[in-house]
């Protein structure tokens, strides 16, 4: 087991490097980098200057036009001093060749030095630590409820396959598949917090403005009120796939010969189901846990955080992409990928705990 874990940890290095290299190349090909973002803001301010130029053409226009470079490297650089553009490149670390930028970035990331945000004037590590509690809160509650609902429901659907219960619950599963979680989020807001029907739950945020003044019990109640709608939206949108995965896994095991043999020996259906079938059927469900948790924690909550104005990692990454804030983009990507790879190893260890017959030591590579 220890040798297998060491091999998996070593394999994380080329995997992490490949993910970062691929995304670095894609980001570089995307139009509109951080310098263009700065120039766009300057251009927005230049609308006022343009009005002044129209009023004082003879005095201001020559000095502005004299600074226009013949071949601007960046869109929106016309009319700006080339030295100013060079200063921006040095400030953002974009004055070096691309391969050198990448290796410097990866060298710093080995010590979790993600640098400072281009536009937030804070270290990326501090930003991640500040936003993480919100995303972890959403991810843990959602994952816990999804598994508590989906596994018992999937098992019952498998046991009662083809029954009335299986048919009408399949309708709920289809709805969960068909409608994205952010659509459910909007519906929940309109019904329970929008004022059109009911106004019994908060509209946005994770806590109230007077949080610090509340007692411990009131803080817990306030937190639960704020977390109900976003978590409900994510649970409704995420339980469908796990329910069907559980059902299909149990159906496959129920049809195996060892189940028939166990029943022939006089074991009760409940003893066969939870004493023999459960351990084998749950392996595939456990295999899906790392990807499910990471998906809920970092990607599935992006739109939910935006809709409910929750200041978490998903929203941080969402805004960083639009602002071309490279340190946040690559810093969060490195962190998410590393956590995802570690969660896969945790999933393998959980395999062994569920079924001790699995021997990782005998695996090659």
- Could you tell me the CA-to-CA distances from 320 to 111, 129, 304, 327, 330 in Å, in that order? 22, 16, 17, 9, 10
pLDDT at residue 365, rounded to an integer: 45
CA 106 to chain centre: 22
Give 58-98 pLDDT, tens digit per residue.
443 333 333 333 334 565 555 556 677 777 777 777 778 88
Entry field: residues in the chain? 365
Q: What is the mean pLDDT of residues 304-312?
A: 85
Confidence of residue 362 (pLDDT cuts 50, 70, 90): low
Q: Going by C-beta distance under 8 Å and a sequence separation of 6 or more, which residues neighbour residue 32?
A: 75, 324
pLDDT beyond 90 at 21: yes
Q: What is the mean pLDDT of the chain?
A: 78
Q: What is the mean pLDDT of residues 295-309?
A: 75
Tokens representing 345?
């190893």
pLDDT at residue 70, rounded to an integer: 38
More confident residue, 35 or 19: 19
pLDDT at residue 336, rounded to an integer: 83
Nearest to 25 by CA among 91, 118, 97, 102: 102
**Running DSSP on this structure, what letter comes out for residue 160?**
T
Q: What is the mean pLDDT of residues 347-363?
A: 67
Residue 311: phi and psi, rounded to 5, are -90, 75
Q: Give yes or no for a contact between 24 and 337, defined as CB atoms under 8 angstroms apart.
A: no
Domains delineated in the chain: 35-109 (no CATH), 124-362 (1.10.3720.10)
């Amino acid at each position: 087991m220890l040798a297998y874990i060491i091999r998996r940890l070593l394999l994380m290095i080329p995997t992490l490097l490949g993910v970062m290299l691929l995304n670095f190349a894609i980001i570089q090909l995307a139009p509109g980098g951080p310098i263009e973002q700065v120039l766009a803001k300057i251009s927005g301010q230049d609308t006022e200057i343009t009005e002044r130029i129209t009023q004082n053409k003879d005095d201001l226009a020559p000095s502005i036009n004299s600074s226009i470079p013949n071949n601007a490297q960046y869109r929106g650089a016309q009319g700006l001093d080339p030295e100013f553009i060079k200063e921006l490149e040095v400030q953002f670390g974009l004055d070096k060749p691309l391969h050198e930028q990448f290796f410097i970035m990866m060298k710093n990331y080995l010590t979790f030095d993600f640098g400072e945000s281009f536009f937030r004037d804070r270290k990326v590590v501090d930003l991640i630590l500040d936003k993480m509690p919100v995303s972890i809160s959403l991810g843990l509650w959602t994952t816990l409820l999804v598994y508590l609902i989906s596994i018992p429901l999937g098992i019952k659907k498998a046991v009662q396959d083809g029954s009335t219960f299986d048919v009408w619950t399949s309708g709920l599963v289809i709805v969960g598949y068909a409608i994205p979680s952010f659509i459910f989020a909007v519906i929940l807001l309109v019904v329970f917090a929008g004022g059109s029907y009911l106004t019994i739950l908060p509209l946005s945020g994770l806590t109230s403005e007077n949080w610090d003044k509340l007692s411990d019990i009131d803080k817990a109640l306030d937190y639960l009120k704020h977390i109900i709608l976003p978590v409900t939206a994510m649970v409704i949108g995420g339980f469908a796939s796990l329910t069907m995965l559980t059902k299909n896994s149990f159906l496959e095991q129920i049809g195996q010969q060892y189940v028939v043999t166990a029943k022939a020996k006089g074991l009760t259906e409940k003893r066969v189901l939870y004493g023999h079938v459960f351990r084998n059927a749950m392996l595939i469900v456990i295999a899906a846990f790392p990807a499910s948790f990471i998906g809920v924690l970092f990607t599935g909550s992006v739109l939910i955080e935006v809709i409910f104005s929750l200041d978490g990692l998903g929203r941080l990454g969402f805004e960083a992409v639009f602002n071309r804030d490279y340190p946040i983009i690559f810093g969060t990507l490195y962190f998410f990928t590393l956590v995802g790879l570690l969660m896969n190893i945790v999933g393998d260890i959980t395999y062994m705990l569920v079924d001790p017959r699995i021997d990782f030591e005998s695996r090659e590579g």
